Amino acid sequence: MTIALRFSLILSVAGLTALMGCSPDDAASTVPNSTDAVSNSEEDAGAPKDAAFVLGDLIPEFNPPTKEELDNVEWMDKPVVDVYELMANRKESEVAMMTAAEALAVRNKTPEDNHNIVSAMGTLATDGEINYSAEWNRHTSADIRNTNPLMISSSAEFDVSGLLSMGLFSFDWNFTPYGNAGSLVSWQTSSDGLMDMVVMRDDLTWSDGEKITAYDVEFSYQVIMSSAVPIPAVRSGTDQLKCVKAYDERTLVYFHFEPLATNVWNINFPIIPKHKYESTIADDPTLASSPVHVELDENPVSGGAYTILKRVRGQEIILKRRDSYYMFDGQQVRQKPHFETVRFKIIENPNTALLSMKKGELEEMMLTPEQWQSQTNDDDFYKFNTKSYALEWVYYYFGWNFRSPFFKDKRVRQAMSYAFNHQELLEKHRFGMDEASTGIFHRTSPWAPEVAPSSYQQDLTKAEDLLAEAGWEDTDGDGVLDNIVEMDSNFDGESEGSRRVPFEFTILTSNRPDRIAICELLQENLDQIGIRCNVKPVEFTTLQETMLGHKFHAVFAGWGTGADPDTSENLWTTKAIDNGRNYGCYSNPEIDKLFEQGKRELDLGERRKIYQKIHLTLWEDQPYTWLYFRNAYYAFNKSLRGYNYSPRGPYNYGPGADTIFKSAEIQ
């Protein structure tokens, strides 16, 4: 859970010519500052391909203070918390509406039923109640590309890596950040806001028996800040740090350029074992190609509660609890994970997954609205399972690629939004269970505009008028709009120059029936106004790779919420095109400026205004056609207890999945 803190829904030294870090004796970096370091200019493009790999070449030149000089700094204590205990304290003030046994006898038909079930099944375990030998059979709709926490980008990778990885920081269901009591002794911030210092616990070990130290954290930062390492998500935020310095095995200091509102999140990045990667990264900066890195991907050295027991591509990933996570020198030093094994079963088709739930083979899955409404109300479902739901800040969209010859013009993108039948989407495809999305922040988020913009409704006449204004007309009478557009050889391999082309494009989507159907609705709508839209379902990993390379016209996808609104910078700023997840290549100088202002504004009220303006500006530009916010609809096996919800669903917050258990009374 702890490695996923900053990101939206919803990516690790022999042979080095120089060690680019922040120690006084390190070679100096030529990068002027962290912002410029990730720009898209030719000057910052990096060394030639045949140049030697340089660790941390994006880190600016900086000489950190000595340990003695740090003793003279005025420090302020920050909270170090066990978020499990925090949840337990919360539960003491909440009254369960019924017992778990009573809740499991109820069929969830009304909001009152749901409220009662959520309150009952969220109750935490009492002494002797947990079956520690149990296995949890979880569902994931897609395979993971890799297990290295630095490379995580998908929700499936967050779920798996969250159990394999350790983190120094956490946050609760309200997105309040804390130091992780399982990893830290103390956390302090300098009075000027330019430094954070932590003291790590001395009972942290990797799964191979080596100690986890501050040097691992420093090294991980240097890897993230290496231009040759292809990191689609993790570098965002980490690049706002001036330096990360380990003064000894336990003492670590993060140095900031400015006292930003986001500093509390920027210090939280994934950690990899230095002793496994420092001698291999120079030969393979991709961290995925060489035999040693392939082996580390298959059998990673874990810092978290679990290790990989078995992995069959496209089928399953089995994790096993490791004693050395919670035991040290014969003493229990951390909470014992509730499951001996966690099995992720990879089932792409949700209908197939539901059949497995009804057989008792799967023990949790996210339901589609159709499944909730019509396929989970009978004895076959309730024999083994129950279900519940809660509000979740996850939005889905059609994304338009600005490098495509079709979607550079704002009027065209707005026309796409007018052409689509949003009402049919919500009523027929989402079964009236979700609400229309009017931008990046949910209406209940503190960052959403006080008055939300009006959602788009289908208006084919308006769509046609906007397309005509943009020059799209049927000039040859074949029933398809055409226009003279500027071609980009970097996008589709076509020769450069302007020429007349028909409006025909392809939209990509993951290979799921419900998502294909939504794209086919778009196809039908656009056909009515002379646009040909081809729907292309692909495997999820292929979809990720295609989006990362910007080689698509349009895509149907979704994003979850980050713990801080600044995480959206990784989706919308110009620098995120080649160094983030701005897959559609949207670029607006005003948006770039607002995100810079947002991270610097310390007054909460003024900061909200900035992100509200970002929300409204994006809505005007329509780089996406925003479709709907999806609630968290989950099915759980009746043997499971202790699941609670946040705006990120039941997982990926603190304590999240850590409170879920199987009752010892049910064998």
**Nearest CA to 505 among 544, 554, 454, 572?**
554
* Residues 617/434, Cβ–Cβ less than 8 Å: no
Whether the CA torsion 566, 570, 576, 582 is positive or negative: it is negative
Any domain includes 87: yes
Please state, in angstroms and as integers, the Cα–Cα distance from residue 619 to each residue in 14, 393, 406, 437, 614, following that order. Answer: 49, 17, 19, 10, 8
> What's the mean per-residue pLDDT of the chain?
90
Statement to judge: residues 231 and 358 lie in one domain: no
**Residue 363 pLDDT:** 98
Which has the minimum average pLDDT: 228-242, 267-281, 329-343, 520-534? Answer: 228-242
Statement to judge: residues 73 and 87 lie in one domain: no
Statement to judge: residues 488 and 608 lie in one domain: yes
Statement to judge: residues 152 and 229 lie in one domain: no
Statement to judge: residues 73 and 195 lie in one domain: yes
Any domain includes 7: no
Whether the CA torsion 160, 261, 41, 48 is positive or negative: it is negative
pLDDT of residue 194 exceeding 60, the answer is yes
Domain with residue 265: its CATH number is 3.90.76.10
Any domain includes 465: yes
**Which of the listed ranges 23-37, 42-56, 100-114 does the model predict with the highest average pLDDT?**
100-114
**Residue 455 pLDDT:** 95
Q: Give the mean pLDDT of 381-386.
A: 98
**Nearest CA to 8 among 447, 560, 437?**
560
| pLDDT band at residue 624 using 50, 70 and 90 as cut-offs | very high
| pLDDT band at residue 127 using 50, 70 and 90 as cut-offs | confident
Q: Give the mean pLDDT of 324-348.
A: 97
Statement to judge: residues 426 and 541 lie in one domain: yes
Query: Which residues on neighbouring strands pair with residue 389, listed in sequence order?
Result: 633
**Residue 487 pLDDT:** 82
Q: Give the mean pLDDT of 95-106.
A: 95
Statement to judge: residues 62 and 194 lie in one domain: yes
Question: For the sheet containing 241-246, what is the strand order?
Answer: 75-77, 184-190, 195-200, 251-256, 241-246
Both tokens of 555, joined, read 């895509």
**Residue 282 pLDDT:** 96
Any domain includes 655: yes
Q: Give the mean pLDDT of 515-525.
A: 97
Statement to judge: residues 74 and 217 lie in one domain: yes
**Residue 39 pLDDT:** 29
Statement to judge: residues 505 and 571 lie in one domain: yes
Q: Which of 277, 310, 344 is the last residue of a domain?
A: 277
Higher-confidence position of 44 and 450? 450
Enumerate the H helices of 479-588 as residue ranges. 489-492, 513-527, 540-548, 569-572, 576-579
CA atoms within 13 A on the CB side of 481: 26
pLDDT of residue 54 exceeding 60, the answer is yes
Helix axes 589-600, 604-621, angle to 10 degrees: 160
Any domain includes 637: no
Any domain includes 146: yes
**Residue 2 pLDDT:** 43
**Residue 50 pLDDT:** 54
Please give the tally of structural domains in the chain. Answer: 3
Statement to judge: residues 218 and 359 lie in one domain: no
Domain encompassing residue 620: 393-630
Query: Which residues on neighbouring strands pair with residue 77, listed in sequence order?
Result: 188
Any domain includes 284: no
Higher-confidence position of 436 and 652? 436
Which has the minimum average pLDDT: 20-24, 123-127, 497-501, 551-555? Answer: 20-24
Q: Give the mean pLDDT of 214-239.
A: 92
Query: Which residues on neighbouring strands pair with residue 198, listed in sequence order?
Result: 187, 252
Query: Which residues on neighbouring strands pair with residue 364, listed in sequence order?
Result: 636
| pLDDT band at residue 439 using 50, 70 and 90 as cut-offs | very high
Q: Which of 277, 307, 342 is the last residue of a domain?
A: 277
Domain with residue 336: its CATH number is 3.40.190.10
Amino acid letter for position 217: V
Cis before residue 655, ω within 30 degrees of 0?
Answer: yes
**Residue 232 pLDDT:** 63
Please state, in angstroms and as integers, the Cα–Cα distance from residue 654 to each residue in 70, 91, 563, following that order. Answer: 31, 14, 11
Return the percentage of the chain with pLDDT > 70, whole number: 91
Q: Which of 277, 299, 320 is the last residue of a domain?
A: 277
CA distance 36 to 586: 19
Return the percentage of the chain with pLDDT > 90, whole number: 82
Any domain includes 3: no
Please state, in angstroms and as integers, the Cα–Cα distance from residue 343 to each residue in 122, 134, 136, following that order. Answer: 22, 11, 6
pLDDT of residue 17 exceeding 70, the answer is no
Statement to judge: residues 231 and 309 lie in one domain: no
Q: Give the mean pLDDT of 421-425.
A: 98
Q: Give the mean pLDDT of 539-556.
A: 91
Burial 265-292 (b: 16+ CB within 10 A, else e): bbbbbbbbbbbbbbebbbebbebbeeee
Statement to judge: residues 477 and 566 lie in one domain: yes
CA distance 638 to 190: 49
145-164 pLDDT tens trace: 889 999 987 788 889 998 99
**Residue 19 pLDDT:** 29
575-620 pLDDT tens trace: 999 888 999 999 999 999 999 999 999 999 999 999 999 999 999 9
Domain with residue 403: its CATH number is 3.10.105.10
Which has the minimum average pLDDT: 38-52, 156-170, 516-530, 600-614? Answer: 38-52
**Residue 36 pLDDT:** 27
**Nearest CA to 549 among 622, 621, 510, 492?**
492
Both tokens of 254, joined, read 């993060």
| pLDDT band at residue 486 using 50, 70 and 90 as cut-offs | confident
CA distance 272 to 320: 19
